[in-house]
Structure 1
Amino acid sequence: MALKGKVETEFEIKVSADKFYNVFRSQAHQVPNATPDIIQGVDVHEGDWKTHGSVKIWKYTVEGNAEVFKEKVEFDDANRKVSLVGVEGDVMRYYKNIKPIYQVTPKGDGSVAKLSIEYEKLREDVPAPDKYLTMMVNITKDIDAHLVKAK
């Protein structure tokens, strides 16, 4: 059984790719407002909200459990892609490396959101991070609904 892997999904959202990407690019502090049932808070640990390489700490709930995720952010503005490279937190008990990725591309009046998680498990008996991918889908849908309402 392979320890390294990738889980991914894609679906359409209503808001423009630029509008959605901008939330993660410079307004991550607003994410808890859009999805309070999942994200309870996010704080800058090093750097700021807009700089590539800044470190943020996310407090969230997944499958009823409160967890923390410390990540170093990577931005790819040309492809509207943000990668959250795992540094510390609850998921690191199961994964040697974990990198959730949000990417949006324009499609008509809206966008296509492509979500993925690249990972390396610590042990073979650790499941793929499907529950975290599901959480990312729900976060994306909540942000999309929040931005549509804000129009």
Structure 2
Amino acid sequence: MAIKGKISGEVEIKCHRHLVFELFKHKPHDTSVVDPERIAACHLVSGEWGVPGAVILWDYYHDGKKETAKEIIEEIDDELHKIVFKVIEGDILEVYNSLSFIFTTKDVGDKKFVIWTIEFEKANPSIPDPTSYMDLVCGIVGNMDSHFLNSNSDLLGFMVLKGSDCPINKYGKVESAKEIVEEVDDELHKIVFKVIEGGVLEVYNPLIITINVEDMGHKKLVIWTMEFEKVNANIPDPTPYLDLLCAVVGDMDAYFLKRP
């Protein structure tokens, strides 16, 4: 008789929750850079990164051996920071009849958490719960958190600066950029702009810019996140564009404070 079960695990993180969510959503293949001891590779089989219905293939290390798993992205919820990965092929299905990994995040007071839930079905009670797979995915999140905190996200192409931290630079030339507004979330105060034309795409392609706001105690912060791919490894990170955006927010703040 088949037995269904569910287990959950939490990982406290120090970096912004949306960084971990956006990596699993748009660039899960970069997990092999962040945690090569657990992830050997991740490839897109069909569909599009960050879109439900995409099929991805993982090569990973579990209990001292290399395994593979093909998953379909069943659900993505940007508001809840939720992604559902359902395993459709691979070593894990030799043990479990079905298995899905569910990623979510939450704030508890001043603390931030990533929550993994594994829903599974096993053929009989003698098969253990998949706690070793829970240890695997929680370990990946822990290494992501350390990477974002220690390396300024340079390997993954995610950059975050808070408006109050950014210097104001003067720019000597006029540039243009055409963007499409991919997402607007009034509740989260979030807007996603994707650059579709302009000189910036000669060096970064793609380039996606996200703005959101956060309250931290009595402080209010505007946060810009840039997700990018460089044309080659010699190109520097787009910090001047972050400086520009943060300076614009600083000027907006000064303007609104002066208004009667």
TM-score above 0.5, yes or no: yes
Paired residues in the alignment total: 151
Q: Identify the residue that residue 70 of structure 1 maps to in structure 2.
A: 70
How many Å apart are 1:125 and its aligned residue?
2.1
Partners of 1:109 and 1:27 in 2: how far apart?
A: 27
Q: Identify the residue that residue 46 of structure 2 maps to in structure 1.
A: 46
Per-residue CA deviation, residues 35-77 of structure 1 (Å, 9 max, x unaligned), is 0000000001111222111000000001101100100012121
Per-residue CA deviation, residues 1-26 of structure 1 (Å, 9 max, x unaligned), is 87100111113101111111000111
Q: Identify the residue that residue 87 of structure 2 maps to in structure 1.
A: 86
Q: Identify the residue that residue 118 of structure 2 maps to in structure 1.
A: 117
Partners of 1:107 and 1:42 in 2: how far apart?
A: 31
Q: Does 1:145 align with 2:157?
A: no
The list of structure 1 runs, each at least 4 consecutive aligned residues, that deviate by more than 4 angstroms after superposition, is 107-110
Partners of 1:99 and 1:23 in 2: how far apart?
A: 19
Deviates more, 1:125-134 or 1:98-107: 98-107
How many Å apart are 1:107 and its aligned residue?
5.0
Q: TM-score, normalised by structure 1?
A: 0.93
Gaps of 5+ in 2: 153-260
Q: Does 1:102 align with 2:110?
A: no
How many Å apart are 1:29 and its aligned residue?
1.6
From the superposition, tell whether residues 110 and 19 of structure 1 become closer, same or farther in structure 2 (CA, over 3 Å). farther
2:84–2:100 contact (8 Å) kept in structure 1: yes
Partners of 1:67 and 1:136 in 2: how far apart?
A: 14
Partners of 1:49 and 1:109 in 2: how far apart?
A: 31
Q: Identify the residue that residue 222 of structure 2 maps to in structure 1.
A: none
Partners of 2:148 and 2:109 in 1: how far apart?
A: 17
Partners of 1:8 and 1:2 in 2: how far apart?
A: 20
Partners of 1:28 and 1:56 in 2: how far apart?
A: 9
Gaps of 5+ in 1: none
Letter aligned with residue 142 of structure 2: K
From the superposition, tell whether residues 110 and 30 of structure 1 become closer, same or farther in structure 2 (CA, over 3 Å). farther
Percent sequence identity is: 29
1:15–1:109 contact (8 Å) kept in structure 2: no
Q: Does 1:56 align with 2:56?
A: yes
CA RMSD of aligned residues (A): 1.7
Deviates more, 1:58-67 or 1:45-54: 45-54
Q: Secondary structure at the match of 2:140?
A: helix
From the superposition, tell whether residues 140 and 112 of structure 1 become closer, same or farther in structure 2 (CA, over 3 Å). same
Partners of 2:127 and 2:13 in 1: how far apart?
A: 31
Q: TM-score, normalised by structure 2?
A: 0.55
From the superposition, tell whether residues 150 and 141 of structure 1 become closer, same or farther in structure 2 (CA, over 3 Å). same
